Amino acid sequence: MPELPEVTGLVAFLAERLDSLAVEGVELASITVLKTFDPPPQALAGAPVDGVSRHGKFVDIDCDGIHLVFHLAKAGWLRWYDEVPKTPARPGKGPIALRVRLSDGSGFDLTEAGTRKSLAAYLVRDPADVPGIAALGPDPLADDFTRERFAEVLAGQKGQIKGILRDQRIIAGIGNAYSDEILHAARVSPFALVTRLDDDALDRVYEALRAVLAGAVLAATGRPAAELKDAKRQGMRVHGRTGQECPECGDVVREVSFADRSLQYCATCQTGGKPLADRRTSAFLK
């Protein structure tokens, strides 16, 4: 799933290419991708692109006051064309969900692999009309997301630190991959209860959060959309690297599997050398 750094890179990519252009048309190839009905897709025809921005993991293209907002979900992506195929995007079994044609002949498709379709697009007059945006927590790279603000955000939370980092209502933009990376850099167990983390551990999580995300944004900035996924994979130190050496201590990177995802961690760096139980509990293997 694209997370804050990749979405930031994608926004920069689109902002550069959509500058001074207008939307020629929007074609729906999936009957479920568009979650709104007013304004209709036809309202974008001829609208100039005024800007591109990010809200958490959402991309927001402002077209003369009408916002095309999309969330790429787990298996979605954007395919850019310097020249869009002339054949209209039609409903079917292919990966294309939505196509945008621009005034210079360029454009892009929103695509989604697999059978579980969760990519979502919205046409709204105010981005806050998108429920997922309205519910977002603070942006972790915002200037005002200080250590004190981080403490305020965590106040009253009782869950495991990894789940809290991934909860978009608490902090916007972090998903499964970067929560693994942040906690590895902070030397904190993904199963640690936030109520049991002392100030030193929370300092480390905050500093790692800012550093890991900032570094990943820097790596993503200036890359074409087609390269952002690979750049994310290459930048991972533990996530997706089960069985490989931890780059910090040389121990093996371990995994905990769940029904629809997995997490990776280093026992030496994060759990005092004790492997975590591979089940939905915070207990250690005995």
Q: Domains in the chain, start-ordered, CATH in brackets?
A: 4-134 (3.20.190.10), 147-270 (1.10.8.50)
Contact yes or no for 23/103 (Cβ under 8 A): yes
Nearest to 61 by CA among 73, 42, 48: 48
pTM for the predicted model, two decimal places: 0.93
pLDDT in tens, the chain (286 residues): 899 999 999 999 999 999 999 999 999 999 899 999 999 999 999 999 999 999 999 999 999 999 999 999 998 999 999 999 999 888 877 899 999 999 999 999 999 987 777 999 999 999 999 999 999 999 999 999 999 999 999 999 999 999 999 999 999 999 999 999 999 999 999 999 999 999 999 999 999 999 999 999 999 999 999 999 999 999 999 999 999 999 999 999 999 998 778 999 999 999 999 999 876 444 444 3
How far apart are the C-alpha atoms of 62 and 261, rounded to whole Å? 33
How far apart are the C-alpha atoms of 154 and 162, rounded to whole Å? 12
Q: What is the DSSP string of 237-256?
A: SSTT-TTSBPTTT-PBEEEE
The amino acid occupying position 275 is P
As annotated, the active-site residues are 2-3, 57, 261
